[in-house]
Structure 1
Amino acid sequence: MIDGMTSPTRTSNTPMPSDAGDRRQVRPAAEGWEQQRTPEGRPLLQFASPRVKQPPQHLADLTLAERQAKLKELGLPAFRAKQLSTHYFQHWTTDPERMSDLPKAGREELVEAMFPPLLTEVRRLRTDDGNTIKFLWRLFDGALVESVLMRYPGRITLCVSSQAGCGMNCPFCATGQAGLTRNMSTAEIVDQVVAANRVIAAGELGVTEHPDERVTNIVFMGMGEPLANYKRVMAAVHRFVDPAPEGLGMSARNITVSTVGLVPAIRKLADEELPVTFALSLHAPDDELRDELIPVNNRWKVDEAIDAAYDYFRKTGRRVSIEYALIKDMNDHAWRAALLAKKLNQRGRGWVHVNPIPLNPTPGSIWTSSEPEVQDEFVETLRAAGIPTTLRDTRGKEIDGACGQLAAAE
């Protein structure tokens, strides 16, 4: 998601705190591509998906009751819904030859009706150690999306996409530069996980730890703004957590939903009574910089987004994550870490965890990650203020599969 560029000579006229030192202030400025803007000159925000043809209905789009109703419409007994669901959500297959518990007569037609093809693999890239795989998928209408599968000790995480493209237009994000093509369907989101489980079962992700491995953690940090595709994302979350055979039977606590700050949707998420992990991609604690870096900040300001995140904690009891990409000379100043800590501590203690992430570069970009000593100072400033802080691992950078690098280019 990070192919945006900035001019290193463009600086802010806004005075910095007296203790900010003399390190320069770089401002976001798109170069090498044209940022989409409104007639008034503001960065264009696309909250609604364009009206385009949607993929055919798939079993994963439906609840178990809806699957049973559809099978009755097809003139088949309702109990076939559980059989089909078991094959898909537990055996990760849509191959009729592997569904021997279904009558051979009409089996292929039934599978064709319930499992229309959704994702076609275009390319697969692996890191040298084999522990990270990036998939490029072509959807039914030709749109391209990516997902990233990562093995860690004791867990396997899949970074999923929820939209083809993105409408949030952040200038440091390669995904956002192309704008929003369309929302992904519930089943297109779910099918990324099922496809990843097939790959794991085939022993294609690093060194296998045990024979029953599967995706244990899901992060909605791939292409798209998840809360702009709220209804389908939440339906996908239900498929992930619903017990077998209705869904994958995963723990909601192992699912992370992120956003750049769509405040009304954050508040709606807090009322879902699903204990998912919530992550706010903040990237700047001051409105002046965040207005430029994250255009949605022109709609909902920093304090509004943090207030909504704190309310999520109060309603769910789930600690919130703050994601913060460290960009050299732009947002990595120690005074910004102090300001962020002040804003978080004003709401209370123990409710939040900050994840600074060194910026992952993409070809052609002159934006870069902070110097190691600057990263350390930023982290230590937060910790000294009592904010739990962990510098995030940049997995998959060598295959453009790390945070901020998903551009879905062939």
Structure 2
Amino acid sequence: MKENILSFTRDELKSRFKQIYNLPSYRTEQVFGWLYKDISTFDEMLNVPKKLRENLTQDFFIGQMSVFQSHRSHDGTEKYLLKCVQDDNVIEAVKMEYYHGISACISTQVGCEMGCVFCASGRDGLVRNLSAGEMIGQILAIQKHAKIRISNIVLMGAGEPLQNFEEVMKFLELVHDPQGLNVGYRHITISTCGLVPEIYKLAELNLPITLAISLHSPSDTERSRIMPINKKYPLKDLIYACLAYIKKTKRRITFEYALIKGKNDSIADAEALIKLIKPVFAHVNLIPINTTDTKLRAPDLQWVEKFNEYLNSHGQNATIRRNLGSDINAACGQLRWQYLKKSE
């Protein structure tokens, strides 16, 4: 059975090539470098011997994903439906343009089983984890389609990245490799809904990435309603894990806070939020939720600004996330959900 060559780190590829082809390491360097250029077949590796190209074609495939659909917003945001090479599952990715560069928000799983009520990603549950190569394949597909270079990567698309821990860590190694995509760790953000054991594991790796925690409520009762994972890992345990992460890495955490009208947007909620995260070296990213087919709605912009002002005036650093792609259903899971419903 052919393997996705994008899932191999350089060291793994050297070992595999030595084992099955008895090749010197410089051949691995040649092949590895080609993988991150705009190629789709091994025959395009011009300085690689023909026999090796034939062997590679027989044993491996280049898992660059194909763009199944693309939708471009007036603000430059582009949402993609991508088709997996192995099984035709469809996943989402987003390209976002900022003053500091172009970011890609990618998926780490097909579907999601976390069940957050405001997110469309998990409506059909978890189908499977994505491999490191499939995550790389999303970046390569975006770069090829948009004819740009991705400079920042956010693991905040469909799926819970820390539930797919080993493949995500391999992805980080691959994307950081100077012979690969050469994206610095400081330009990578991992978002989690709060898998406490995995936050401790990530802390031990001491990578200079940005960790974003989906918080969304300072109350265990309300957070459990909108984020079922809180029943397993309540706020007290989550905050302890965050403190351990900061102590180990010396890195500031971002708390993502999706503002939901009538659920978590009162001044009392703001006061409780400040009290909860006061011990933590953290920034709060306020996100007025996108309108979907649920009854949940964002507060009006004036109230969002008041909530933000209250946090900042009481010593908690906070900003309002720029709303990108609202006209193309760019929120997590929306486009895939619409596609799946139409396909039924």
TM-score by length of 1: 0.78
For residue 390 of structure 1, give the secondary structure of its aligned residue in structure 2. Answer: strand
Q: Distance in 1 between the 2:314 and 2:327 partners?
A: 34
More displaced stretch, 145-154 vs 290-299 = 145-154
1:216 is matched with: 151
Tell me if structure 1 keeps the 8 A contact 2:290–2:297: yes
Higher strand share: 2
Q: Does 1:387 align with 2:316?
A: yes
1:147 is matched with: 93
2:83 is matched with: 138
2:4 is matched with: 58
Q: Map 1:8-407; keep pairs closer than 5 Å.
A: 56-75=2-21, 77-78=23-24, 79-89=26-36, 91-105=37-51, 107-111=53-57, 113-117=59-63, 119-129=65-75, 131-139=76-84, 140-200=86-146, 202=147, 214-244=149-179, 247-345=180-278, 347=279, 351-362=281-292, 364-403=293-332, 405=334, 407=336
Q: Distance in 1 between the 2:209 and 2:162 partners?
A: 13
Q: Quickly say closer, same or farther: Cα 1:238–1:175, change in 2 above 3 A.
A: same
Q: Distance in 1 between the 2:285 and 2:19 partners?
A: 49
Tell me if structure 2 keeps the 8 A contact 1:144–1:408: no
More displaced stretch, 223-232 vs 381-390 = 381-390
- Offset at residue 142 of structure 1 (A): 2.6
More displaced stretch, 119-128 vs 105-114 = 105-114
User: What amino acid sits opposite 2:173 in the alignment?
Assistant: H
Q: Distance in 2 between the 1:271 and 1:339 partners?
A: 30
For residue 177 of structure 1, give the secondary structure of its aligned residue in structure 2. Answer: coil
Unaligned ranges ≥5, structure 2:
340-344
Unaligned ranges ≥5, structure 1:
1-54, 203-212
Q: Distance in 1 between the 2:61 and 2:181 partners?
A: 16
- Offset at residue 404 of structure 1 (A): 6.3
Q: Distance in 2 between the 1:408 and 1:179 partners?
A: 11
Q: Distance in 1 between the 2:257 and 2:333 partners?
A: 11
Q: Deviations over 1:293-332 (max 9, x none)?
A: 1000001111221221222122111110000111111111
- Offset at residue 121 of structure 1 (A): 2.3
User: What amino acid sits opposite 2:288 in the alignment?
Assistant: P
Tell me if structure 2 keeps the 8 A contact 1:326–1:358: yes
Larger radius of gyration: 1
Tell me if structure 2 keeps the 8 A contact 1:220–1:258: yes
Higher helix share: 2
Instruction: Give the paired residue count.
Output: 337
RMSD over aligned Cα atoms: 1.9
| Structure of higher RCO (CA pairs closer than 8 Å, 6+ residues apart) | 1
User: What amino acid sits opposite 2:207 in the alignment?
Assistant: L
User: What amino acid sits opposite 1:353 in the alignment?
Assistant: H
Q: Distance in 1 between the 2:301 and 2:80 partners?
A: 30
Tell me if structure 2 keeps the 8 A contact 1:146–1:408: no
Q: Distance in 2 between the 1:105 and 1:339 partners?
A: 66
User: What amino acid sits opposite 1:133 in the alignment?
Assistant: E
Tell me if structure 2 keeps the 8 A contact 1:136–1:408: no
Tell me if structure 1 keeps the 8 A contact 2:41–2:62: no
Question: Could you tell me the percent identity over the aligned residues?
Answer: 36
- Offset at residue 278 of structure 1 (A): 0.3
- Offset at residue 357 of structure 1 (A): 0.3
Q: Distance in 1 between the 2:309 and 2:5 partners?
A: 49
User: What amino acid sits opposite 2:172 in the alignment?
Assistant: V
- Offset at residue 231 of structure 1 (A): 0.6
Q: Distance in 1 between the 2:268 and 2:334 partners?
A: 28
Tell me if structure 1 keeps the 8 A contact 2:102–2:149: yes
For residue 148 of structure 1, give the secondary structure of its aligned residue in structure 2. Answer: strand
